[in-house]
Structure 1
């Protein structure tokens, strides 16, 4: 119908101006092609988790040291495969969204400069929190310690596997104990669980410092202990203590320590400083052993390895939990490896050195810019590997939602699901015509187009409002899916390479 209407309008214009009939047809066809280019056909089943791990859809970067990355609670996660069926359940969508909102609130409170732990909102979160920190997000397997007597087995996914590949477990010549760690770009202190934890299968894997010949507790009065700053928690028997408390009521505390961190058989970090956690509050997910903190603070893994790995890292979050991604500590070193990235400046927020800030200038839907007022995006946005759903200022989100709903008018709306207020009933629909969505960053050479998995999440538009135009937005991991996101902290830029995993 739209094509016929366009052709009719072109015919009238032709009669008025004397254009030829061939020009009419050409103009109409070109306009129809342009309209079609603003959409992509998405097989709904392709956005859903499968029972088995399919491996990597795209070969990971060549000539770079990388480790497989997966989404927790999925078949590609080694911690998920170790759990007993039916005992370690994936959180419901409602629980995932609740946890996600708590994380968003904690980031926004930290950036507001308020006293997070005395704040009434934080107290309310602490009262109702059951588990928030470790339930979803990208995870990697690394080894901690150097006791050669400890046998280590980690999940290894064939880097050449594409669709139809499978995961396998094999022995690797890596010292220490394998730990499944959350990749967190919005925290500073790496930590590992150093006491037995109960799982559905019994006592889960943990790091026992007494079994590592290279382990050392960091002494009080040392420069490393002094660098803890707000995370310092006094001394016990001359050993530096740490505590990381989260506004949702969760926390970890123990001895600040150092040991060997082995990322791959050829890439190890000696003297890696981390929290050896002896106690956690809140119900942490038994599948994960701790956090690989990659924030901008002095304690983070990134800061500790800046001299040896170029003050940079990247990762690719897969489109579903049944696909595999990757994590790289370090920056691309060749021109070929850096090609394909769209870069935007990275800055810091005045109140915190932890978070990485980028600036959105606009959003496109079906190839058309929304022309969001600059004032509504002036606060910038946090790049976060752990927040799932991207939060936008209300003005920007309202424009995106209106444009998306117009373009999706052919499909039945469904009731909202938590913070997701633009949901659809795709019952009986196998293929959906989805408008393309792209984020336009400050000084980018081009807009960063999202993968369909970054547009639809559980049949809903995968964005939400952050509550105020004056508050920063947050770019979540759902929107980052299938892209290699390069944090070139030393160079002051964030890069995006589409179709990387």
Structure 2
């Protein structure tokens, strides 16, 4: 069947207007829902609402990348919460310890950015900061929330390692161990690996580390912090095995003297944006592309961590990745505002913008648990949330949380939605369990947001749980969804 082309100019105009209206409707992200329903149980929240986020597809130009080794190959690992590690058992003080680790993590991120800002104030040429400022062990951050199982050495020795999107180093505890904390696996012994090769003092890799010295011609590293956490040892090239894929000559820190809060983990897999991170070292092999999904510790399943172009999902909602030359390790995003109950809270967009000297802005971080907002923004958001939950019985504040509810005896409750409004236009509406969390076994649930002690905003891992998050470093985008996990 064929349709005749409309001959009347008026009819033609009408068809054109209808087409433009339909196209605009398709391009415009759907507004967030106003309310969600939760099933309340003694130890966890379950969401019975299926809406997560609208879909925004990029053109092919955004997705095309020069073919590399991993163009059609994806490295996929399971992610475990720290409480699921063998020989590491959660106890009644686990919540308080998690929040204590979180506070240390936030203070560390702010201090690192403050140091970068101070350097920027003295050098208005806005050069890229020395990489050495980003070589961190992650120990002070206490970022041991999610772990992957990888093989280290030849033959590969399986080790649990912390993932950290804000760190630019890969390191493991090593024999001989002068001082090591407890870990689930035997401490890695370089003497048992045929692929272990120490890095010479004059190498370019050694030059990129801070606090280095030379011992018997080998490069040594040391990273220490004010709270007593540190890792010290030798820098080496080693083989990392993920599934059936062997990745040779990865620069890792072999820590012989370590102290920190990584109970259970053998070390850290840095996934930051710097060139010494695991992502940075893979370089063109993955195009800086990886995807992760953090699953709540309250579930029996595991999350995933995938590397390569094949990890980039079709149909995800994409927003721009913002680079901070003063802090290349971190993944910044453009947040325009937050919403409650489908209504955007009146917060100036400038509150979330990156400053000239690299301070403020919004960082996506796997090592921080609770999302932080600048104090004025947090208070406006909190007040908007409490105004729509005045029918729920309040409970006293717990730890860093000042907005808590006594839900003991409730089967299900109706709560307003919480949404992130991004500068690019999309809106991410969180699952309810990502903003109301249980803090004890007595039915107390708290709003899992907190004020930031500075102008920096951090999107924490509680808010990221259950949402597939993809980092496309080559093209400069961050993706959300399209599937829950």
TM-score range, shorter chain: 0.7 to 0.9
Partner of 1:69: 79
- Deviations along 1:231-266, one digit per CA (max 9) or x if unpaired, are x4201111101122245431111000111101111x
Contact 2:435 2:463 in 1 (8 A): yes
Offset at 1:285? 3.2
5+ residue gaps in structure 1?
1-33, 51-61, 75-79, 117-130, 148-175
Partner of 1:242: 221
Report matched runs for 1:143-154 at 5 Å.
143-147=151-155
- Deviations along 1:24-82, one digit per CA (max 9) or x if unpaired, are xxxxxxxxxx99941111112396299xxxxxxxxxxx9743111121113xxxxx234
Partner of 2:406: 425
Change (3 A) 1:215 1:38: same
Matched, 1:269 2:247: yes
Contact 1:184 1:294 in 2 (8 A): yes
Offset at 1:188? 0.8
Matched, 1:496 2:480: yes
- Deviations along 1:331-378, one digit per CA (max 9) or x if unpaired, are 337xxx532321111122242221111121011111111131122222
Change (3 A) 1:216 1:101: same
Contact 2:102 2:142 in 1 (8 A): no
Report matched runs for 1:169-318 at 5 Å.
176-195=156-175, 197=180, 199=182, 204-228=185-209, 230=210, 232-265=211-244, 267-282=245-260, 284-318=261-295
SS at match of 2:252: strand
SS at match of 1:416: coil
> Equivalents in 2 of 1:477, 1:36: separation in Å?
21
Report matched runs for 1:10-29 at 5 Å.
none
> Equivalents in 1 of 2:345, 2:91: separation in Å?
40
5+ residue gaps in structure 2?
1-29, 47-71, 119-138, 355-360, 439-444
Q: So what's the TM-score if we normalise by structure 2?
A: 0.76
Partner of 1:108: 110
Change (3 A) 1:35 1:402: farther
Give the alignment's Cα RMSD to 1 decimal.
2.7
Change (3 A) 1:178 1:402: same
SS at match of 1:113: helix
Q: How many residues align?
A: 395
Contact 1:227 1:298 in 2 (8 A): no
> Equivalents in 2 of 1:134, 1:287: separation in Å?
12
Offset at 1:437? 0.9
Of 128, 142, 157, 2:150 maps to 142
SS at match of 2:248: strand
Offset at 1:498? 4.9
- Deviations along 1:136-187, one digit per CA (max 9) or x if unpaired, are 411110010112xxxxxxxxxxxxxxxxxxxxxxxxxxxx111111110111
Select the structure with the greater relative contact order (CA < 8 A; seq sep ≥ 6): 2
> Equivalents in 2 of 1:135, 1:448: separation in Å?
25
> Equivalents in 2 of 1:146, 1:419: separation in Å?
45
Q: So what's the TM-score if we normalise by structure 1?
A: 0.74
Partner of 1:390: 371
